[in-house]
Amino acid sequence: MRKTAVVTGASSGIGAATARRLAAEGFDVVAGARRRDRLDDLAAEVPGIRPVTLDVTSQESVDELAASLDRCDVLVNNAGGAIGLEPVAGADVADWQRMYDVNVLGSLRLTRALLPRLIESGDGVLLMLTSVAGLVSYEGGGGYVAAKHAQSSMAEVLRLELCGEPVRIVEVAPGMVHTEEFSLNRFRGDSAAAGHVYQGVPDPLSADDVADAIAWCVTRPAHVNIDRLVIRPRAQAAQHKVHRV
Ligand SMILES: NC(=O)c1ccc[n+]([C@@H]2O[C@H](COP(=O)([O-])OP(=O)(O)OC[C@H]3O[C@@H](n4cnc5c(N)ncnc54)[C@H](OP(=O)(O)O)[C@@H]3O)[C@@H](O)[C@H]2O)c1
């Protein structure tokens, strides 16, 4: 019997790599995001992927996805991202609301909608894609740091509340990952500023590196819960300690 994995934010970066990887591991993958054309291309290329138009900020959209599922064994709450690097004193409230809505409430909407299916499966895995920004604060991190801390807390609370149920709660917290769009979105489309983030860093993580870690976490035996996996490139010893050449 094939298991079903739902991956949000599967139209680019870590989500797309995770959809590919879980399909290769033998899952039926439901790949959700707003940009349907990109999902259709992914599904045409990789057998076992079903594209679904999904906006995690819309309850209606999340409900539609939930209603389309026969089963759900794995949920990867990956959709998210950062907007801006302004100090808190100069922050735009709308940016913070947007980051909270996508990263935190988006994960909450998916969790509420699919948790019954995960439990029903008898061995469900809910994976929360947070960030080292959810563990350590940094200047300019503002709303993103706050949102990722909230997601990380949600994972901890869920693990406590669901103790005794057949569902594992896993948090994967990556450091610097060079994806095509994350920094571009953070810098509102300024590609020079986005490129500067990774400048001189020998081998930041790739989306495939994180997908590999996610695949490992969700394919452990049912009794093994990886509470939190922190993954950084070798060049990033800590948030403020990045080796550049
Ligand atoms: N890159 C890094 O350095 C890094 C480090 C640590 C953690 N992370 C986290 O990893 C996750 C993926 O990041 P990434 O680097 O792969 O970024 P990315 O390439 O920008 O991908 C973000 C994905 O989220 C989707 N998304 C955004 N808003 C959405 C919405 N309202 N509904 C549904 N999907 C939505 C996007 O698809 P559409 O636009 O098509 O909807 C896209 O597929 C995020 O949660 C991010 O915070 C990234």
Neighbours of 186 (CB within 10 A): 19
Helix 13-24, helix 207-218: angle, nearest 10: 50
Alpha helices in the chain (DSSP H): 13-24, 36-45, 59-67, 93-99, 106-120, 142-161, 182-186, 191-198, 207-218
Cβ(26)–Cβ(49) under 8 Å?
no
AA letter at 118: L
Report whether residue 155 contacts ligand 1, using a CB cutoff of 6 Å: no
Q: What is the pTM of this model?
A: 0.98
Q: List active site positions.
A: 144
DSSP letter at 180 equals: S
Atom index in ligand 1 nearest the CA of residue 12 equals: 43
How many angstroms does the Cα of residue 39 sit away from the middle of ligand 1?
14
pLDDT at 1 over 90: no
Alpha helices in 204-243 (DSSP H): 207-218
Kindly report the protein residue whose alpha carbon is nearest to atom 44 of ligand 1.
Answer: 80
If you average pLDDT over residues 120-135, what whole number do you get?
98
Domains in the chain: boundaries: 4-242
Of the CA atoms within 13 Å of residue 28, those in its CB half-sphere come to: 11
pLDDT band at 124, cuts 50/70/90?
very high
How many angstroms does the Cα of residue 165 sit away from the middle of ligand 1?
29
Q: What is residue 209's predicted lDDT score, i.e. its pLDDT? A: 98
Report whether residue 179 contacts ligand 1, using a CB cutoff of 6 Å: yes
* Assigned CATH class of 4-242: alpha beta
How many angstroms does the Cα of residue 202 sit away from the middle of ligand 1?
23
Report whether residue 51 contacts ligand 1, using a CB cutoff of 6 Å: no
Report whether residue 177 contacts ligand 1, using a CB cutoff of 6 Å: yes
Instruction: Please give the mean pLDDT across all residues of the chain.
Output: 97
- Is 216 strand, coil or helix? helix
Cα–Cα distance between 35 and 12 in angstroms, integer? 9
Report whether residue 242 contacts ligand 1, using a CB cutoff of 6 Å: no
Report whether residue 57 contacts ligand 1, using a CB cutoff of 6 Å: yes
Kindly report the protein residue whose alpha carbon is nearest to atom 7 of ligand 1.
Answer: 131
- Residues 129-177: tens digit of each pLDDT: 999 999 999 999 999 999 999 999 999 999 999 999 999 999 999 999 9
If you average pLDDT over residues 83-90, what whole number do you get?
96
